[in-house]
Structure 1
Amino acid sequence: MVKNKLLTIMLIIISAITLVGTTAFIVLMKFPGDEEQKEPSIDEVVEATVEIPEITTKLKTKGYIRISFNIQTDSKKAKEELEKRGFQVQNILIKELSEMTLEQFDGEEGISSLENKLKDRINELMQEGTIVSVYATSFLPQ
């Protein structure tokens, strides 16, 4: 009698462990979780990018700069919002550029620094998505 109870309890425990293991296996196979995110195609990038027309503004020290940008968003909704915020983006550009000197634009590092700063500042405005990248598309210090 005691052996039968012990055998029954062992079978129940083994069945429960097998059931939990099988369920965990199925869940992990169905929902892998951290899937590798694939890079967007160039068509998707272009579809979510806003072109900022060339602006000319005075720098902090002597000199002017003519510069234009393309800003990549993470979605169509974010692109639409960014297009509506065009005047705010231009205001940020003018403010950031007016605090810079010609020397800060020497080399790739200067432009990359400006692109990253603009990305952060514009992301503070965004409500429908985020800015993925800012690309300087023309650059002419004078």
Structure 2
Amino acid sequence: MKNNKLVMIMLILLIAITLVGAVAVVVILKVTDEDKEPTIDEVLEASVDVPEITTNLASNDFIRISFKIQTDGKKAKEELEKRDFQVKNIIIHTLSEKTAEQVSGNEGQTQLENELKEEINKLMQKGKVEKVYITGSLLP
């Protein structure tokens, strides 16, 4: 009788240890999956092109500029495609407050990309914008 109880306790402990190990493996696999950089195909599947926009800058110059906006998934991409008019509005308003000097050069373009990312993310409900890329620009 005492032997049966000991075997039962050992069996329960073995099952508990196995369950804890399985949960740990699942958690580790899930965390490492999230840290993995997306492939270029995944980036393209989740990206939206903003065609060339021509608008005035605060310095009375004009700019022609186009973007590719990378989202975090297909649902975010679909939402962003529906919000294209709002995205264009954000771009035009943001550019209208900039001078030609502020949007030229590496630092200025990076700052513009980051500002647009922040503003567009305020609109998003089903995902978020990961990165904004300038795909073409022309300043006079």
Give the TM-score of the pair, scaled to structure 2: 0.82
| Structure 2 residue 64 is the aligned partner of structure 1 residue 44 | no
Structure 1 stretch 130-139 or stretch 32-41: which is displaced more? 32-41
Cα deviation, residue 128, structure 1: 1.0
d(CA) in 1 for partners of 2:22, 2:81:
45
Relative to structure 1, the CA distance from residue 67 to residue 40 in structure 2 (aligned partners, 3 Å threshold; closer, same or farther) is same
Which residue of 13, 34, 43 corresponds with 2:31? 34
d(CA) in 1 for partners of 2:26, 2:81:
39
Q: Which residue of 2 aligns with 1:101?
A: 99
Letter in 2 for 1:27: V
| Structure 2 residue 139 is the aligned partner of structure 1 residue 135 | no
Which residue of 62, 65, 79 corresponds with 2:63? 65
d(CA) in 2 for partners of 1:29, 1:120:
35
Cα deviation, residue 136, structure 1: 0.3
d(CA) in 2 for partners of 1:95, 1:80:
23
Q: Identity of paired residues, percent?
A: 53
Q: Which residue of 2 aligns with 1:116?
A: 114
Instruction: Say which one has the larger Rg.
Output: 1
d(CA) in 1 for partners of 2:67, 2:13:
59
Cα deviation, residue 41, structure 1: 1.2
Gap regions ≥5 residues in structure 2: 1-5
How big is each residue's C-alpha offset from its partner over 1:27-58, in whole Å with a ceiling of 9 and x where there is no partner? 32343253253211111111111100101111
d(CA) in 1 for partners of 2:120, 2:96:
17
d(CA) in 2 for partners of 1:112, 1:99:
16
Computed over aligned residues only, the root mean square deviation of the Cα atoms, in angstroms, reads 2.6
Letter in 1 for 2:32: E
| Structure 2 residue 74 is the aligned partner of structure 1 residue 76 | yes
Relative to structure 1, the CA distance from residue 23 to residue 79 in structure 2 (aligned partners, 3 Å threshold; closer, same or farther) is closer
